[in-house]
Amino acid sequence: MTYRVWGRAALAFGAAAMLGTASATAGGTLVIGMTAGDLPVTTGNPDQGFEGYRFVGYNLYDSLVLWDLSGAGDKAAEIRPGLATGWQIDEADNKRWIFTLRQGVKWHDGCPFTADDVIWNFGYTSDEKAPQFNPAQFGQARAYFGTYAGVEKIDDYRVAFTTKVPDALFPYMMSYVLMVSPCRAKEVKYDWTAYAAKPSGTGPYKFDKAVAHQRMEFVPNADYWDKARVPQHDRLVLVPMPEASTRTAALLSGLVNWIEAPSPDAIERLKSSGMKVVTRVYPHNWSYQLNFVKGPFTDKRVRQAANYALNREDIKDLLNGLMLEEYATVPPSTAYYGKPLLYKYDPDKARSLLKEAGCLPCKVTFAISTSGSGQMQPLPMNELVKSQMDAAGFEVKLDAMDWNALLQVGRGGVDASPDIHAINISRASQDPFNALIRHVWTGAWAPKGANWGHHGNPAMDKLIDGILGEFDSAKRLALLTRLHEMMNEEAALIFVAHDLNPRAMSPKVQGFVQAQSWFQDLTPVKVVP
């Protein structure tokens, strides 16, 4: 065979390959490479963390309360009406929330959405005795039911929730509880495996098909109640790709046209190939929760020293700029950021604080993970944190474990791992409870809640009671701001990084505006040929 023939063969081979690739993305198909190791479940509240909510949860389903994901303005996303058009506290009872439901909404199976469906859904996620009870959904949703006591129907389009204690933040929690169709559940006789293959919600997309573990395809719901959010593309395909290098290669080779979280060292390569890389700060918190029961961090000076010891700009360089230096629990664009005391890099001050506290060298053990949802680049980042803290007088021991094991340490609380002085589990700070309260409230001491290190402080508890009982949003905002500032005064965490939520996409993907949120609105996206 001559060189010419070989050349032709190679050309034909290449053309065939490219044709195959092009046909997979023609006609406005948005193909997304997710970081998840598997397809999120489709039975309501998804697994795979907030990525599951982002791509499956809020696309197939709605909650009573949704998030404003328009990306407009310079503030973090806030809640807005969803399947409920409004909510208010009962004037006669501050433990009773009345939600008014949206009329004229239809499930994907054609049944109308009414108050009975809401009642049914709370049986699905929280009533062990209900025939529709689903233990997996109970597990997923329960974290948002901290103060939930019950729900009752007032009429076809109004329901009343009762809470165990006054809870002004209850509507935020309702944003995480997705509503599934009772009609479809009854049709499949409560067989959740069958339901998963034929899910029905009220969301902007309808389920089309899935190949287990490999891909899931949605099509637009042309009858979506919010006409402004009927998807602009013809098809949405979700592909799990846990390996960052695989995602990058898949985007560059045209197999997908959108990838989540490209690794920092791939950014330049992606940009030089004409890909768009979008970043925006969002409510993410890469920090260390501290042990307030035993060990050096029970001393405020040691906590402050740890915060002074960190040169966050160096950490940012390590990530090729893909983070925002974190000096407080929430990013500055959060409404309740206030004017917190900032611990800027000052290793001398850190050392003198340690000396004052009588802890030099100060030996501490951090439990960290090798990977995990929202953990960014946990190993190099922790190594750098260790070297910076060691230089300022600490002796940090990193106890690395896999993500599952670290979550178990986190859930067990400080009593189950008294010799660990800090845990590095990055947290979503999407709503005020999850952003602030759960870290410092005695009512959230693990294993009951997410206050791993049992931080407790009567003044803060009083402030939190005030927040939960304050139904005037302006007044509540002032209290939340004060709580946020107090967390810094206390050095309640070691603050390190806010992720910038990088995602890369083909130039053919147009119309996407990244919201300051863990969730994103894909509906305006168009994929041009």
- Residue among 54, 235, 280, 438 that touches other proteins (CB under 8 A): 438
- Contact between 10 and other proteins (CB under 8 A)? yes
Taking the C-alpha atoms of residue 452 and residue 221, their distance in angstroms, rounded to an integer, is 42
| Close Cβ partners of 77 (under 8 Å, ≥ 6 residues apart) | 67, 68, 69, 283, 430, 515, 516, 517, 519
User: Does residue 408 bind other proteins (CB under 8 A)?
Assistant: yes
Instruction: Report the residue from 27, 86, 139, 321 that binds other proteins according to the rule CB under 8 A.
Output: 139
Among 75, 164, 344, 448, binds other proteins (CB under 8 A): 448
Number of residues that bind other proteins (CB under 8 A): 63
3-state SS, one letter per residue, for 116-161: HHHHHHHHHHHCCCCCCCCHHHHHHHHHHCCCEEEEEEEECCEEEE
The answer to the question of residue 103 lying near other proteins (CB under 8 A) is: no
Tokens of 235: 């098809």
Instruction: Using the rule CB under 8 A, give the single segment among 61-69, 189-197, 276-284, 515-523 that binds other proteins.
Output: 189-197
- With CB under 8 A as the contact rule, the residue among 214, 223, 348, 473 that binds other proteins is 214
Show the binding pattern over residues 343-382: x = contacts other proteins (CB under 8 A), - = does not: ----------------------------------------
CB of 158 to other proteins, least distance (A): 29
Tell me the closest approach of the beta carbon of residue 156 to other proteins, in angstroms: 32
Q: Which among 140, 108, 147 has a CA at the least distance from the CA of 125?
A: 140
Q: Which is nearer to other proteins, 338 or 449 (CB)?
A: 449
Residue 131 near other proteins by CB under 8 A = no
Q: Quick one: which H or E segment has residue 497?
A: strand 493-499
| Contacting range for other proteins; rule: CB under 8 A; set: 80-88, 290-298, 441-449, 510-518 | 441-449
Question: Using the rule CB under 8 A, which residue among 7, 135, 418, 507 binds other proteins?
Answer: 135
Residue of the chain from 2, 91, 92, 128 that contacts other proteins (CB under 8 A)? 128
Q: Which helix (H) or strand (E) holds 496?
A: strand 493-499
* Binding residue for other proteins, selected from 7, 13, 339, 395, defined by CB under 8 A: 13
The SS3 call for residue 507 is coil
Q: Where are the beta strands (DSSP E) in 332-487?
A: 362-369, 394-401, 422-423, 427-428
Give CA–CA dist 360/354, Å, rounded: 6
If one asks whether residue 471 binds other proteins (CB under 8 A), the answer comes out as no
- The candidate with the shortest Cα–Cα distance to 63, out of 138, 186, 172, 218, is 172
CB of 394 to other proteins, least distance (A): 25
Residue 149 interacting with other proteins (CB under 8 A): no
- Cα 13 from Cα 207, distance rounded (Å): 35
**What is the DSSP secondary-structure string of 23-47?**
HHHTTTEEEEEES-SSPPP-SSS-S
Q: Which residue has the tokens 């944003």?
A: 175
Angle formed by the axes of helices 473-489 and 458-468, to 10°?
Answer: 160
What are 199's two structure tokens? Answer: 């899910």
CB of 260: closest distance to other proteins in angstroms? 14
Looking at the Cβ atoms of 389 and 420, the one nearer to other proteins is 420
Strands 394-401 and 362-369: parallel
| Binding track over 41-80 against other proteins, x by CB under 8 A | x-x---x-x-------------------------------
Query: Could you tell me the smallest distance in angstroms from the CB atom of residue 48 to other proteins?
Result: 8
Among 170, 172, 192, 218, binds other proteins (CB under 8 A): 192
For other proteins, give the closer residue by CB, 151 or 244: 244
Shortest Å distance, C-beta 87 to other proteins: 23
Does residue 453 bind other proteins (CB under 8 A)?
A: no
Binding mask of the shown chain, residues 386 to 405, with x at each position contacting other proteins by CB under 8 A? ---------------xxxxx
Cα(64)–Cα(174) distance, integer angstroms: 6
- By CB under 8 A, residue 215 contacts other proteins: yes
DSSP string, 270-302: HHHTT-EEE----SEEEEEEE-SSSSGGGSHHH
Binding residue for other proteins, selected from 118, 119, 159, 241, defined by CB under 8 A: 241
The token duo for 486 is 């107090």
Residue with Cβ nearer other proteins (2 or 193): 193
Q: How far is the CB of 364 from other proteins (least distance, A)?
A: 21
What's the closest the beta carbon of residue 143 comes to other proteins, in angstroms?
4
252 binds other proteins (CB under 8 A): yes
Q: Say whether the peptide bond before residue 242 is cis (omega within 30 degrees of 0).
A: no
C-alpha to C-alpha distance for 490 and 465, rounded to whole angstroms: 18
Residue from 168, 425, 440, 525 that binds other proteins (CB under 8 A)? Answer: 425
CB of 269 to other proteins, least distance (A): 9
Q: Around 110, how many Cα atoms within 13 Å sit in the side-chain half-sphere?
A: 1
Question: Do 59 and 437 contact (CB within 8 A), yes or no?
Answer: no
Contacts 24+ apart (CB under 8 A), 57-61: 57/178, 58/178, 58/203, 58/519, 59/203, 59/204, 59/205, 59/218, 59/236, 59/522, 60/108, 60/199, 60/201, 60/203, 60/205, 60/206, 60/207, 60/218, 61/178, 61/179, 61/180, 61/201, 61/202, 61/203
Residues that bind other proteins (CB under 8 A): 10, 13-14, 16-18, 20-21, 23-24, 37-39, 41, 43, 47, 49, 128, 135-136, 138-140, 142-143, 192-193, 196, 211-215, 239-243, 245-246, 249-250, 252-255, 401-405, 407-411, 425, 438, 446-450
